[in-house]
Chains A and B, each alone.
Chain A
Amino acid sequence: MSAPSAEASSSSRNEHVEERDSVIVRFAGDSGDGMQLVGGQFTNTSAMFGNDVSTFPDFPAEIRAPAGTPAGVSGFQIHFSNHDIKTPGDDLDALVAMNPAALRQNLRSLRKGGILIVNSDSFGKNDLRKANYESSPLDDDSLQQYKLVKIPMTSMTRDAVAEAGLGTRAADRCRNFFALGVLYWLYDRAPDATIDWINEKFAKVADVADANRRALKAGMFYGETAELLQGRYRIRPATDIQPGTYRQIMGNQALAYGLITAARLAGKDLFYASYPITPASDILHELAKLKNFGVRTFQAEDEIAAVGSAIGASFGGAFAATGTSGPGVALKSEAIGLAVMTELPLVIINVQRGGPSTGLPTKTEQADLLQVMFGRNGESPVPVVAAAYPSDCFTMIQEAFRIAVEYMTPVFFLSDAYIANGAEPWKVPSFENLSKIEVKHPTARVDDGTSGDGFLPYTRNEKNARPWAIPGTAGFEHRIGGLEKENNTGNVSYDPANHERMVRLRQAKVDGIADSIPLQTVDGPASGDLLMVSWGGTYGAVSTAAAEARREGLSVAHAHLRYLNPFPKNLEAILKSYKKVLVCELNLGQLWLLLRGKYLVPAEKYNKVQGQPFLVTELTEEIHRILGS
């Protein structure tokens, strides 16, 4: 971030406007305070203004945790800037705390000298007690290092919306828009998009729409007239962003769009089966809305039924996917083995969350890599791909489907809570420019006399893929199942040598996928002191830290893996081109284990398992430590 340069604004009164390159703000309040909503509004407005944005919603697992307690605090962090950014940022420039619990939970993230806006109306005795404050931090000097702005938001909102004629409770629900208004003023944002949104959202409840509009405007006017805020900030549109049309998109939404797109690119209908589970349910919700795209969604009775029905749909010739999180993958694993054995195309989405067991349902983690690699009985290879950021879900899910049908195999797609709920600008593609996915179903009978029916379901093409003959096709009647198969005929076989042949064939097929995936790329020098390796949702933080290190003059490169099984063919050579390799993961070293096991490289690891993403500063410290600089 550059030093702020003061300049007089021409637009408003004699006020002080500082230019900033980028700003990080967080709305924090009770789960019922609507923080996610206003966070989303701020993001949308900033993105439409032309800033680059990256967000991090962080909310509790309980739907209604006790109000006002630290357990119920919900936060939404937005990083917006005049240049390309890849993370929601580390330290906050401004924090909005709607109550003492939100203050307690979030203050540690606010940088010294940062702006702290609190709703002073909610610092009563009771509120303080619920957050374990003995006395009000607003009254002592504990908040001295921050620019504290106390606003009686509850009473001001009530006054502002009085004319809308709502009851007190309903009026209080508009407080979040008041807070949003204050930040709109502070960062020089126009409220138009939010007002449009309010009008549309509350079209049927005119008084609520009116009240929210009034609260929003009251917040903005307050910023303008109150002396408390001594100036405002301006963050110009980003200039280093590729030209094109953009929108904001969240990971799960990009994933849903990608699923439909993949099916369309193959001329297929999508079958999506799922059992509700955080943080994957939004994929089902999104797809269920889009039936007019030929989507059949199936909310199954359990995780096993979800994967089972997807396997059945795949046997029937559909593009089938099932989405879940780690606990669901555990339940699905036997059926995934069936898909391996029957060599049917299937995509299994794992939106990872903190584990083990129920773990941290709403928090992010990357600790299911080994589960998806090895969590099945027998030698059961499944290809694995992982998205790097929210909009990457759109691209990588198409890849998952391409691999699934090209190689007739189940494929794991890994996302995580951070990617799923994070939002970012997405350069809108044109469907016509996307690569088609080729699918062939045999329809002309092959009659070589080696089987009663003529058709041999376990013959293989040059990629070791078997034919995808679907029920309804005369002459192709065949039986498949979970028992070991004889190659070519697909007949059940207990022959020892055949079993080993088939185990090796299935492995060779998956290994062979390396021929069809892009080579691994590296940001930074092609050889040097340190290679940072990452996968999944840590892309933004690791690439930012590596880039900063290079700007400091350090020899640091970064390889981010999207293909985790098989690995790109050149990965070994890359790993061996640096003096040190550091694998950064939100687990205890799962990719690290795979890389060391496969390539015998003395890679080191850097790990965090707090349900939270990496901060860039943590990674930077680690780079310095490892390079002794």
Chain B
Amino acid sequence: MVTNGPLPVLTAKDFENDLDVRWCPGCGDYSILAQMKKVLPEVGIPKEKIVFVSGIGCSSRFPYYLSTFGFHTIHGRAPTVASGLKLANPDLSVWVITGDGDGLSIGGNHLMHAIRRNINLNIILFNNRIYGLTKGQYSPTSPVGHKTKSTPFGSLDRPITALTLAIAAEATFVARTADRNPAHLQYVLKRAAQHQGVSFVEVYQDCVVFNKGAFDYSIEKGVKDETTINIEHGKPLIFGAKKDKGIRLNGHTPEVVSLADVSPDELLIHDERAPDSVLAHILSQMAQPYLPEPMGVFRAIEEPCYEQEVLQQVADTTKKFGPGDLNKLYRSADTWTVK
């Protein structure tokens, strides 16, 4: 756990710096930055112990716009740099800012391994379903048929679901939120910060220049209540503008039922603490146009943090063999003396 001394009360302003923010006007990244600045003073960690590490892409400019420590690394490799930093200095609160191209394409391998080790990192993946910085090619999360500069006749690639990947890698904290839902975004970021172990958060993020409106189906008033579902621990899955629909499991398959026909007892009850990842996996596969897309915390379980175990092993070996004595080490083989 990061230490909590008596802290000066910080505000969002304390996390600003004097660099001009250079995202396109209207970009969803602005909201994420704004919510982050509001959340950071509330997580009880001194500013100097917070580090933002990013890869390459629009989202990865994030560290430059905060006044914490920051490291803008290379494409896809932020989880590796963050892992080393956390291992060297477990006292820090380390955030990884990545995107769908950075995290799921070029850096997919690192993402998977950082997650399965359960290093106490907060990984925030801005999913805009497009390559923005390179000016508009399809990404691993773009839907089939998506027309972009590199797919003028439509994308043939089958997209990946970020959360399914994270859950398959046994992420101990998995959540989804959206740039245009500030209160929910703040809630999820705060939960991620509090979680001990790896936190993986997908943020639906609008790229207003190259993929405008990609998430309108999930955020616009009037449709969002039908297309998304807020999941909360211990509560049945109910959605719809009139709260008149629910999700029931038919075998392993979730289905939409009307509460007019089905009693709430039959609905799927969310359990973010389920030790196995089956439920989280099922939720992560719920997608439009067939099912509402869950928003909120899918999974939050407690498992030992990798960096703590690394430290523990060092401590245990030191206890067992005594603190390393170099002169003894040099002489740890047969020796002989030349006179």
Contact = CB atoms under 8 A, between A and B. Distances in A.
Given A470-B89, A479-B63, A481-B72, A246 B84 contact: no
Interface residues on A, range: 35 or more
Contacts of B9: none
Given A47-B334, A292-B324, A492-B64, 10 more contacts: A247-B335, A248-B334, A264-B326, A301-B112, A308-B79, A314-B84, A428-B331, A471-B49, A479-B69, A479-B71
B89 A309 contact: no
Contact of A452 (B18, B109, B333, B337): B18
Interface stretch (B30-38, B237-245, B313-321): B313-321
Interface in A466-521: 470-483, 491-492
User: Chain B: interface residue count, which band?
Assistant: 35 or more
Contacts of B82: 312
Interface in B299-339: 310, 313-314, 317-318, 320-324, 326-327, 329-331, 333-339
B224 interface: no
Interface stretch (A22-30, A59-67, A145-153, A237-245): A237-245
B109 A302 contact: yes
Given A338-B73, A474-B46, A305 B80 contact: yes
B141 to A, nearest CB: 22
Given A305-B83, A482-B73, A491-B19, A296 B310 contact: yes
Contacts of A478: 69-70
A193 B334 contact: yes
A309 B48 contact: no
B336 A48 contact: yes
B151 to A, nearest CB: 27
A261 interface: yes
A436 to B, nearest CB: 13
Contacts of A315: 71, 81, 84-85
A246 B48 contact: no
28 contacts: A47-B334, A248-B333, A292-B320, A292-B322, A300-B80, A301-B112, A305-B83, A306-B80, A308-B77, A308-B81, A308-B83, A312-B71, A312-B80, A315-B71, A316-B85, A316-B86, A318-B89, A429-B330, A430-B327, A431-B327, A451-B18, A453-B67, A471-B48, A472-B49, A472-B91, A478-B70, A480-B71, A481-B72
A354 interface: no
B87 A50 contact: no
B269 interface: no
A580 to B, nearest CB: 38
A482 B126 CA distance: 20
Contacts of A216: none
Nearest to A242: B338
Interface in A325-367: 334-335, 337-338, 342
Contacts of B18: 451-452
Contacts of A241: 338
Contact of B335 (A302, A305, A307, A428): A428
B317 A291 contact: yes
Nearest to A45: B334
Contact of A481 (B47, B48, B63, B109): B63
A301 B74 CA distance: 17
B53 interface: yes
Contact of B326 (A44, A271, A293, A316): A293
Given A47-B336, A271-B87, A452-B17, A475 B92 contact: no
A312 B71 CA distance: 9
A310 interface: yes
Contacts of A301: 109-110, 112-113
B175 interface: no
A313 B84 contact: yes
Nearest to B313: A291
Interface string A50-89: 1000000000000000000000000000000000000000
User: Which of A243, A271, A305 has most B Cβ within 10 Å?
Assistant: A305
Instruction: From B17, B51, B80, B323, name the one whose CB has the most chain A CB atoms within 10 angstroms.
Output: B80
Q: Which of A249, A304, A483, A491 gathers the greatest number of chain B CB atoms within 10 Å?
A: A304
B67 A452 contact: yes
Contacts of A133: none
Nearest to B47: A477
A246 B63 CA distance: 52
A472 B85 contact: no
A564 interface: no
Contact of B89 (A44, A298, A472): A472
A296 B87 contact: yes
B17 A308 contact: no
A317 interface: yes
A313 B85 contact: yes
Contacts of A483: 72
Interface of B: 17-19, 46-49, 51, 53, 56, 63-64, 67-74, 77, 79-89, 91-92, 109-110, 112-113, 310, 313-314, 317-318, 320-324, 326-327, 329-331, 333-339
Most chain A CB neighbours (cut-off 10 Å) among B56, B110, B338, B339: B338
A311 B53 CA distance: 12
B109 A44 contact: no
Contacts of B330: 247, 257, 428-429, 431
The 9 closest A-B pairs by CB, nearest first: A308-B80, A481-B72, A312-B84, A309-B84, A293-B324, A479-B70, A316-B88, A312-B85, A313-B88
Nearest to B54: A481
Nearest to A44: B334
Contact of A471 (B69, B77, B313, B323): B69
A195 to B, nearest CB: 13
Contacts, number: 221
Given A44-B334, A246-B337, A292-B323, A271 B88 contact: yes
Nearest to B49: A472
A293 B329 contact: yes
A260 interface: yes
A508 B203 CA distance: 44
A334 B74 contact: yes
B74 A335 contact: yes
A153 to B, nearest CB: 27
B2 to A, nearest CB: 10
Nearest to A264: B326
B183 to A, nearest CB: 28
A246 B338 contact: yes
A317 B87 CA distance: 11
Given A48-B336, A431-B326, A472-B91, A482 B74 contact: yes
Contact of B338 (A244, A249, A306, A308): A244
A261 B67 CA distance: 36
A482 B71 CA distance: 9
Contact of A257 (B317, B321, B329): B329
Question: Which of B109, B113, B327, B336 counts the most A-chain CB atoms under 10 A from its CB?
Answer: B336
A113 to B, nearest CB: 32
Given A247-B335, A335-B77, A296 B48 contact: no
A48 B91 CA distance: 47
B306 to A, nearest CB: 10
B91 to A, nearest CB: 6
Contact of B84 (A193, A298, A479): A298
A311 B313 CA distance: 22
A260 B329 CA distance: 10
A312 B81 contact: yes
A316 B92 contact: yes
A305 B110 contact: yes
Contacts of B63: 479, 481
A261 B324 CA distance: 11
